[in-house]
Structure 1
Amino acid sequence: MSITRKIVLSLAANRVVRSIASKYGLKLGAGRFIAGVTLEEAIKRTKELNEQNLWVTLDHLGESITSKQEASEATRIAIDTYAAISQAGLIKTNVSVKLTQLGLDIDSSFCLENMRKITAKANETNNFLRIDMEDTPRIDVTMEIFQSLLSEFGSAVIGIVIQSYLYRSKADVEKLGKQGVNLRIVKGAYKEPKEVAFPAKKDVDDQFIALVKQHLSNGAYTAIATHDENMIHPLLAWIKENNIADHLYEFQMLYGIRSDLARKLVAEGYKVRVYTPFGKEWYPYFTRRLAERPANALFILKNLFKK
């Protein structure tokens, strides 16, 4: 992990910094990365993105909750999100969730039941649900819950995320590829020890490209989540050389980051999905975006000194 990233994550954990950011952050520039606090705001922004021929994944922010009441409320919001998507006719929009928001750290069986309710709603509305991957101590139980839901609902309804900075990811992709799982491949944004994750960016990038190729070679749907043109262009060349069908992949980018590149790819005929977060508990997500890219922090600092 870079020194800059360590500093940002440490500073972000400071109670005083968190208090100030939570109170003023959206006004000072964090709103660039968050589609709104309410579901209504998120749906409005989603319509605008869909009209630009951008696909969307909505994510109601929140993680590491500590009560079943909070987890049940998060479950209700996820279900309501599918209902709002369906009512608005947003056929280019799906949903992603984090299991810690749905009770994973309280009781994995309780979390599975919450996930079953959400997945059933996705199925009922002819939609799709993505499970976001979290830090290493939670990966195995996340995989167990995913496999239970996959066997019940199938890969057309539920998919998962794989992080390229982890040593284990190659083996995970090999297994999931044989099952035809719809994967979102990302670099990873959590603070992980060198015992489980590549410390060097080049190794993370190299494995990212290798995992995308591996999954596509298995004929499985692959969401390529990166803003890095130095990775996108070589992958596009490989996709063309290997006659990979267009319906097997899409590019994914985070809301508020490299919108210019997203529009460019759409103009060239590629499918691009914008990962679009919303909700009151936006701070942990926001700090990871700052840690990943110092330019994001500079954007916020500039706003601090505006009138």
Structure 2
Amino acid sequence: MDASDLLRNTLLQLSKSGQVRSAIEKAPVSRSVVRRFVPGDATRDAVAAVAELRATNRLATIDYLGEDTTDLTQAIRTRDHYLELLKALADADLSQHGMGEVSLKLSALGQYLPGDGHKIALDHAREICQAAANAGTTVTLDMEDHTTTDATLESLRELRQDFPWVGAVIQSYLRRSEADCRDLAHEGSRVRLCKGAYKEPESVAHQSSADVDQNYVRCLKILMAGDGYPMVASHDPRLIEIAGALAAHHERDASSFEYQMLYGIRPEEQKRIADRGDQVRVYIPYGEQWYGYLMRRMAERPANTMFFLRGLASRN
């Protein structure tokens, strides 16, 4: 295990530490830096971030933070946040043609509730999809740890019966992902390919960064050769270059795929890619449950940790 893999595993462990979370949340300097990566807690903060991106020809996908909900009231509250967000985006003229879309975690919508959890989460997702359709935009189902992959893909199939534009997420650290990409690389299918940011056993997931990257490229080749709409979620310059080369090889128009990056990470590179005529969508998280998200994003790519630490240093 090299140093980057050790850092990744450490950060994934810290993402579950209540003690570390408390220390970071109580430190004014770190909380102010978090604002660079999570624009705020309220709907208005997310909408303002989308408006800022629009001014520089960037698209957005918005995630109301939260997961692993085991309380029905909280699941309903999460659904209502999304309904409020979609209305606010439409009212601000920021949703048409998918300019500002939303990303959903089914576990935040009640997937883990006892008994009818799957149905409850699916019903909530269906309501959100209808609100998105009314606003002229789209929805992407976020992928979580490997234990939920089959259930998420099943929900995707059900939602696409009424909303064929619902997007999926595939994580290249999972050994199954090449096969999933083949299944999803069909006309009308929107697929976000990312590396993955959960602590997974070796039996189901590649453990080294090099193996994850190699699988990312294998998956990317399948998606770019297919008839769907690939969404290349990476900050890695090598993978971005490979994606561009594959798109050119398959004679893809700039409107037939997009790059995706995280809010606050490499914003100048985001603008550069958008300025050259390619589509760039920025993943905007908002809400109070930002700690786990931030730690996993740092684990996903060690360079993200340096962005955060440099931010702390500049504030100090």
Classify 1:124/1:200 alpha carbon distance in 2 versus 1 (closer, same or farther; 3 Å).
Answer: same
Runs of at least 5 residues in structure 1 that lack an aligned partner in the other structure:
none
Q: CA deviation at 1:42?
A: 1.2
Q: What does residue 210 of structure 2 align with?
A: 202
Rounded to whole Å, the distance in 1 between the matches of 2:83 and 2:16 is 31
Q: What does residue 220 of structure 1 align with?
A: 228
Q: CA deviation at 1:19?
A: 1.3
Rounded to whole Å, the distance in 2 between the matches of 1:259 and 1:17 is 28
* Aligned with residue 25 of structure 2, among 8, 22, 26: 22
Rounded to whole Å, the distance in 1 between the matches of 2:292 and 2:24 is 11
Query: Does the 8 Å contact 1:75/1:102 carry over to 2?
Result: yes
Query: Does the 8 Å contact 1:98/1:131 carry over to 2?
Result: yes
Q: CA deviation at 1:232?
A: 1.2
TM-score by length of 2: 0.91
Rounded to whole Å, the distance in 1 between the matches of 2:88 and 2:253 is 32
Q: What does residue 49 of structure 1 align with?
A: 53
Give the stretch that moved more between structures: 91-100 or 240-249: 240-249
Rounded to whole Å, the distance in 2 between the matches of 1:22 and 1:59 is 20
Runs of 4+ in 1 over 4 A off after TM superposition: 298-302, 304-307
Q: CA deviation at 1:47?
A: 0.4
Q: What does residue 104 of structure 2 align with?
A: 97
Rounded to whole Å, the distance in 1 between the matches of 2:8 and 2:25 is 20
- SS in structure 1 at match of 2:285: strand
Rounded to whole Å, the distance in 2 between the matches of 1:266 and 1:134 is 28
Classify 1:54/1:224 alpha carbon distance in 2 versus 1 (closer, same or farther; 3 Å).
Answer: same
Rounded to whole Å, the distance in 2 between the matches of 1:184 and 1:33 is 20
Rounded to whole Å, the distance in 1 between the matches of 2:16 and 2:287 is 19
Residue 191 of structure 2 is aligned to residue 188 of structure 1: no
* Aligned with residue 11 of structure 1, among 1, 14, 38: 14
Residue 264 of structure 2 is aligned to residue 256 of structure 1: yes
Runs of at least 5 residues in structure 2 that lack an aligned partner in the other structure:
none
Classify 1:301/1:241 alpha carbon distance in 2 versus 1 (closer, same or farther; 3 Å).
Answer: closer
Rounded to whole Å, the distance in 1 between the matches of 2:15 and 2:221 is 35
Rounded to whole Å, the distance in 2 between the matches of 1:270 and 1:146 is 27
Amino acid at match of 1:33: F
Deviations 1:167-208 (A, max 9, x none): 111111111123641111111111111100112222211221
How many residues are matched? Answer: 305
Classify 1:31/1:153 alpha carbon distance in 2 versus 1 (closer, same or farther; 3 Å).
Answer: same
Q: What does residue 186 of structure 2 align with?
A: 178
- SS in structure 1 at match of 2:161: helix
Give the stretch that moved more between structures: 252-261 or 4-13: 4-13
Residue 254 of structure 2 is aligned to residue 246 of structure 1: yes
Amino acid at match of 1:11: L
Equivalence map 1:52-201=2 (5 Å): 52-90=56-94, 91=96, 92-106=99-113, 107-155=117-165, 158-178=166-186, 180-201=188-209
Give the stretch that moved more between structures: 292-301 or 143-152: 292-301
- SS in structure 1 at match of 2:84: helix
- SS in structure 1 at match of 2:175: coil
Rounded to whole Å, the distance in 1 between the matches of 2:239 and 2:61 is 22
Rounded to whole Å, the distance in 2 between the matches of 1:251 and 1:161 is 13
Classify 1:159/1:30 alpha carbon distance in 2 versus 1 (closer, same or farther; 3 Å).
Answer: same
Classify 1:112/1:178 alpha carbon distance in 2 versus 1 (closer, same or farther; 3 Å).
Answer: same
